[in-house]
């Protein structure tokens, strides 16, 4: 089991990526209350179990996907406990099969490494090349738990702020599906 710090309501003193710095600047500017934990690199959903305990919420599973031609991109958000089945995802959207986007695109389009995909990556998608797809079950939670763009810091945010202010503020319109 990975090490996870006690929760704090403060931003990190030093930022590891430009996206991480953007995230905390936005939270400060919008006066969004949050709790944060630091941890050893959390790559799998199993790693997030201790994070969930510390923050008393459920971390979402966020996946960066694309079609075979790498011309259509999807940021899929679902609950941590659901296995991701590409066939089911494709059927829910009515698109041909998708797969995980290459690591190079994850970094260039979302500003993150493997294991750190986050809805905050939409801040970097100024041309709206990425379709945000959210599993309706995620919306049943009061809190939105996600990476801050790194694999070593995780946030607990009000779901209402994420859905009603943050996402619309990026100019992205989420497609809600049942996975």
Domain assignment present for 13: no
Domain assignment present for 8: no
pLDDT the model gives residue 44: 81
Work out the angle at residue 90's Cα, subtended by the Cα atoms of residues 59 and 171, and round it to the nearest 5 degrees: 60
Domain assignment present for 164: yes
Domain assignment present for 157: yes
- For 19, the enclosing helix (H) or strand (E) is helix 18-29
Domain assignment present for 12: no
The CATH number linked to 54 is: 3.90.960.10
Rounded average pLDDT per 10-residue block, the chain, 179 residues: 94 96 98 97 86 96 95 96 92 92 95 95 97 98 97 97 98 95
Domain assignment present for 9: no
pLDDT the model gives residue 45: 77
pLDDT the model gives residue 151: 94
Q: Decide: 136 and 176 in contact? Cβ < 8 Å.
A: yes
SS3 assignment, position 23: helix
Sheet harboring 35-38: ordered strands across? 35-38, 153-158, 143-147
Domains contained in the chain, number: 1
pLDDT the model gives residue 1: 82
Which residue range(s) make up the domain with 39? Answer: 18-177
pLDDT the model gives residue 43: 83
């Amino acid at each position: 089991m990975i090490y996870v710090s006690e929760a704090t309501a403060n931003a990190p003193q030093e930022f590891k990526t430009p996206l991480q710095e953007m995230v905390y600047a936005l939270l400060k500017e919008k006066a969004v209350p949050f709790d944060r934990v630091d941890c050893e690199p959390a790559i799998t959903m199993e790693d997030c179990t201790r994070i969930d305990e510390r923050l008393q919420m459920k971390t979402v599973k966020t996946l960066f996907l694309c079609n075979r031609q790498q011309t259509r991109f999807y940021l899929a958000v679902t609950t941590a406990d659901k296995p991701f089945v590409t066939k089911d995802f494709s059927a829910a959207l009515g698109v041909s099969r998708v797969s995980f986007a290459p690591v190079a695109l994850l970094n260039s389009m979302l500003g993150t490494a493997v294991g750190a995909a986050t809805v905050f990556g939409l801040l970097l998608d100024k041309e709206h090349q990425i379709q945000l797809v959210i599993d309706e079950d995620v919306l049943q939670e009061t809190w939105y738990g996600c990476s801050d763009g790194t694999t070593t810091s995780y946030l607990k945010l009000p779901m209402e702020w994420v859905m009603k202010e943050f996402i619309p503020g990026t100019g992205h319109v989420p497609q809600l599906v049942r996975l």
